Amino acid sequence: MRILAVSAATLVVLAALAVSAVALLPQLSAASPITVEGSVTVRGDRPAVLTENELTCTTGGGYNDIRQGAQVVVTDAAGKTIALGQLGAGSWKRDTGCIFLFTVADVPAGEKFYGIEVSHRGRVQYTAAQVSAPVELSIGG
């Protein structure tokens, strides 16, 4: 009888451990964070784009919020902020405009849709597949 009592107690403990392991499984199998990369191009001539030389540029006029250090916000489908980044320095490309690159690391994987907003310019929605490639945003004429 004692052997049965110990065995039953052991089974109860093992069952409790199994339930705990199953409860932790979604956390353990969560996908690694992703990195979202992209660019914002400010198109146009003065005063929208101010070239400092043939390689670098800044923005002016109504676009002066699009600049090195401007915040890049990544949201989930509900609009909740899930990661932050910032724009790099502007690079001048003739006939294109002033291009600012960004990289946002540690973006939670597994969302169906991601929103990207630069400065206060409004959120643009992308699918998970679309943010796996560099995102290209543009503003201006």
- Is the dihedral angle over the CA atoms 72, 76, 78, 81 positive or is it negative? negative
Mean pLDDT, rounded, for 43-57: 79
Pairing of strands 56-59, 49-51: antiparallel
Q: Give the model confidence (pLDDT) of 75-111 as tens digits.
A: 999 999 999 999 999 999 888 899 999 999 999 999 9
The two most distant CA atoms of the chain are separated, in Å, by 92
Q: Which residues on adjacent β-strands are paired with residue 117? A: 73
Cα–Cα distances (Å) from 63 to 27, 74, 98, 121, in that order, read: 42, 21, 11, 10
Residues near 43 by Cβ (< 8 Å), separated by ≥ 6? 49, 96, 97, 138, 139, 140, 141
The C-alpha atoms of residue 135 and residue 99 are separated, in whole angstroms, by 12
Whose CA is closest to 90, among 53, 57, 137? 57
pTM of the model: 0.76
Domain ranges of the chain: 1-30, 34-140
Answer yes or no: CATH 1.10.10 is held by domain 34-140. Answer: no
What percent of the chain is predicted at pLDDT more than 70? Answer: 78
Whose CA is closest to 102, among 129, 68, 77, 76? 68
pLDDT given at position 91: 93
What integer best gives the mean pLDDT of the chain? 83
Pairing of strands 71-75, 34-43: unpaired
Mean pLDDT, rounded, for 22-42: 76
Of 59 and 16, more confident: 59
